[in-house]
Amino acid sequence: MDLFGDLRRMNKRQLYYQVLNFAMIVSSALMIWKGLIVVTGSESPIVVVLSGSMEPAFHRGDLLFLTNFHHDPIRAGEIVVFKVEGRDIPIVHRVIKVHEKGNGNIKFLTKGDNNEVDDRGLYKEGQNWLEKKDVVGRARGFLPYVGMVTIIMNDYPKFKYALLAVMGAYVLLKRES
């Protein structure tokens, strides 16, 4: 299996065709992602559960599908994905308390199902409640363990780059019959 030999045997037109084919695959994936953002109302319509804090509801590696329609009220018992100022990675936890004011302002408290205490220790210093602006999305469905690929690729970057290189080489060097 001589990949570079295949590359050398291609004429320039075939090579350009393969490069354009690869670019179309990448741009199609980006368009699908942006379309999902618009349809779901969430800046991140798909997330992977990275820890065991939500077991037994969700396990590490589960892939969650999110929506974030702002007109839907947040209720206790609902599973939300939120971002806290100063942290890059969103957190998946359940709403345990909702504090609603007369003016329509809603604040809420979260907790991981597998955690002993609520999430106040995870919020930024001095913050005791989350607000709607902190929510990235609400869990609407999941696929068990599908996100393990993402976790493995993040834990082993060399594996990630090798996999991407093999996939890129396959797309670039594969000839249509």
Query: Active-site positions?
Result: 53, 93, 119
Buried b (16+ CB within 10 A) or exposed e, 11-33: eeeeeeebeeebeeeeeeeeeee
The string of DSSP codes covering 9-36 is HS-HHHHHHHHHHHHHHHHHHHHHHHHH
